[in-house]
Each structure stands twice: as structure tokens, then as C-alpha cells.
Structure 1
Amino acid sequence: MTVRLTLVCAPARTGRDVRFGDTEPDERALRRARAAAASLETTGTLYAAPSHRCRQTAQALGWLGVTVEAALRDLDMGRWQGRTPEEVADEDPAALTAWMTDPEAAPHGGESVGDLCRRVAAWMDALPDGAGRVLAVVDQAVVRAAVLSVLAAPAQSFWRVDVPPLAKFECTGRAGRWNLRLGDASPTNGSGRVAS
């Protein structure tokens, strides 16, 4: 049986105050998640990463019986946790540059991008062939790592994957081999049939 995996990127706070780590989604982000719920299937095994934003997003999506999965946790930002990229760049621009150009660098004392990519790929590959539909709310970095795993792209490509809030990434797999699954944007006539 083929595994059908859907990853949904949890929204964070809206606005420009981007910080490393787990920031709670604001009410606007949660409203957007509630509105997106209708476009997501909810049958199957449901997971959420351990962050507050992922668990709150799963709740806003109306997902019941969610399993919190530690392997889907966000990138460990070490001593940069809670800081803005601008603050880090002002204090140690060389460290920030190293982290963004070398996937094995972890100048913050946390986890490297390469480590994250290997962790996410291992979780995906450990899903049993009989898992069927699997849905998970995860942080942006986890979606990026999953995309690279499916495409067998090098970790240097991590920063080239744009993942907006509530983006949905779908793939199918069996026996550790994954394929990207593109959605259908055909206009429908309201009945689910393609309009003619």
C-alpha cells in the first residue's frame, strides 16, 4: 500500500517580527487556519510537531486525536532561540552567514540544517508501507527538509525552498522511495466535476 503524506506548514505571528523558535500564532493566523480546514482531508493518521504553533494549528484545523511527534520538531536554534535574524546578524554576522551557507554548520550550538534533513528523511522512511494517509502540521523548516528528501536534493538547496504559512506539501511513497504529488487546480462547477 502506498503512503500518502501531507505536510501543512503552521503559521506563526503575522507581521515583521520574525524570531527563531516557537512563536505562538496570533488570532489572525488561527483564523486563516480555521478557514483552510475545509480544503484538507482529515481521515488518516494525524500528527503535529511539538511546537505550540503546530499544536494550535492542528486544533484550529479541527484535527482530533493528533499525535505529537518529536521527530517532526523544528530546527533547534540553540542560543539563537527567541532572537531575530537581525539581532544575530548585528552580533555575529559571520556565524549567521556560515549557518545559511553551510548545511553542516551549527554556530548557535543547536542543530545543523543537515541534521534536520536527515532526521526528517529518517522519519518519513520509517513510515510503514501500510500507513495509508498521513497528515502532519509542521514548522517551515520541516517542510523544506521533506521537499529535499523527496527530490533527493542536496542540503545546500534548503534555503531555496519557499514555504508560506499554511502551504500544503504532498508526496506518496513506498519502501523508502518518495514521489512529489502535485495538486489539481482544474476549475470545478461546484459538484466536484471539471467545468466545461
Structure 2
Amino acid sequence: MLRISLVAAARCSSVLDERFDDDRPLDRASVQEVERAAPRLRWLSAFELRYCSPSPRARGTGELLGLTPLAQPGLRDCEMGRWRGARLDQVMASEPQAVAAWLDNPVVTPHSGESLLAFIARVGEWLDTRPEDGSRIVAVADPGVVRAAAVYALNAPPPTYWRIDAQPLSLTTVTRRPEGWALEFPA
């Protein structure tokens, strides 16, 4: 059985300033948030395989947790095309019909980026290609990647993605069993 522990990266800014495909590094408040969470997550540094999303916030979170993770392109957040760097409220004000279409249909890409369906499939491919060699695996990933991994593991319909909340510095574990992927909740 393969077990992958996913840590949702810390915020890189206040919730009110969250942006699509955010490339900003962790700010002072985020660093302090990781430092407070580190004692409960430090045990993950014993894992043999340590990965992260290539975003500055995932890399920074992994480094602060003492993981020294290897960035994986397959774990990058959803490519948001021309919406990259914008806030949802800004895009909703300027393109309400495009945002509605994007939220309602997992194959549309009004932003000219990656569809929700393609994003979930990409994250699933990364999960599926991990070695089942007994190594323990941890990955620090942007919250959207954790959500996509959960949808993939459950083989749930893509709109389920919008109903999953991966809080910063939360831990989600997926396991690959003979019958397929599953979510595992720690005791």
C-alpha cells in the first residue's frame, strides 16, 4: 500500500488578498503560522521522499518545516491563464459570466489556462506515478492541489472540488490500495 501525506501550504497573504496562481513568497505572518505548526508536523521530516509544489509558498512552507522538499511540476497549482495574479472579486466584477461558466463546467477555460478536469487529472497522474517501494512520501502543496488530490482519490465528480476546504497547514493522506485510491484520516 502506498501512502502519501499532503500538507497544505501556508497562506502567502491575508485571506482577503488571495490571488489566482499566486507567486508571492510567505509573508511575516505566514512564517509565524508555519513556525507555530512546525512542532505538530516535524515528524514528517523523517519521510524518505519529500516533495512540494513549485510555488514560493509551498517551497517556503516545506523549508520552514525542515523537509528540504524537491519541487515537482506535477504538483503546481491550476494554471489560471490571464486571471493569474488577479483576485476572484476583481475577476467576478469584470467577467461575471466567465467566472460562472468556470465554476459550473469543469472543462471550460475562460481564463485560457487549465481546465478543472485537466488539473485534477494532472495531479492524479502525479499520484499514480509515485513508487510503491515502501518509502514514506510527504508533499507540501498549494491547497488547490490538495483538493484536486482528494477528488482524484475518491474518484468523485470534478464539481466536488469546490466543496473541499484544504486549510493552510492541514494534513491530508491518500492511500493507494489494490482497489484504488482512498482518503485516510489519522487517529
Is 1:125–1:175's contact at 8 Å kept on the other side of the alignment? no
Partner secondary structure for residue 45 of structure 2: coil
Q: What is the distance in 2 between the residues matched to 1:28 and 1:130?
A: 38
Q: What is the distance in 2 between the residues matched to 1:111 and 1:155?
A: 14
The one-letter code matched in structure 2 to 1:29 is S
Q: Does structure 1 residue 36 correspond to structure 2 residue 8?
A: no
Q: What is the distance in 2 between the residues matched to 1:15 and 1:160?
A: 18
60, 81, 86: which one aligns with 1:56: 60
Shift in alpha-carbon separation, 1:176–1:118, aligned structure 2, 3 A: farther
TM-score normalised by the chain length of structure 1 = 0.88
**Structure 2, unpaired ranges of 5+:** none
Match in the other structure for 2:151: 148
Match in the other structure for 2:3: 4
How much is the aligned-residue C-alpha RMSD, in angstroms?
A: 1.4
Q: What is the distance in 2 between the residues matched to 1:79 and 1:175?
A: 41
74, 86, 89: which one aligns with 2:89: 86
Matches within 5 A, 1:83-162: 83-162=86-165
Q: What is the distance in 1 between the residues matched to 2:35 and 2:50?
A: 16
Aligned pair count reads 182
Match in the other structure for 2:168: 165
Q: What is the distance in 1 between the residues matched to 2:15 and 2:174?
A: 30
Q: Does structure 1 residue 72 correspond to structure 2 residue 75?
A: yes
Q: What is the distance in 2 between the residues matched to 1:32 and 1:52?
A: 16
Is 1:73–1:142's contact at 8 Å kept on the other side of the alignment? yes
Q: Deviations over 1:120-158 (max 9, x none)?
A: 111111112115211011111111111011111010111
Q: CA deviation at 1:101?
A: 1.1
Query: Which structure 1 residue ranges, 4+ long, deviate > 3 Å from structure 2?
Result: none
Q: What is the distance in 1 between the residues matched to 2:54 and 2:134?
A: 21
Q: CA deviation at 1:176?
A: 7.9
Is 1:7–1:143's contact at 8 Å kept on the other side of the alignment? yes
Match in the other structure for 1:189: none
Which protein has the larger Cα radius of gyration, Structure 1 or Structure 2?
1
Q: What is the distance in 2 between the residues matched to 1:69 and 1:20?
A: 19
Shift in alpha-carbon separation, 1:77–1:176, aligned structure 2, 3 A: farther
Match in the other structure for 1:18: 18
**Structure 1, unpaired ranges of 5+:** 185-196
Question: Structure 1 or 2: larger helix share?
Answer: 2
TM-score normalised by the chain length of structure 2 = 0.92
Q: What is the distance in 1 between the residues matched to 2:28 and 2:169?
A: 14
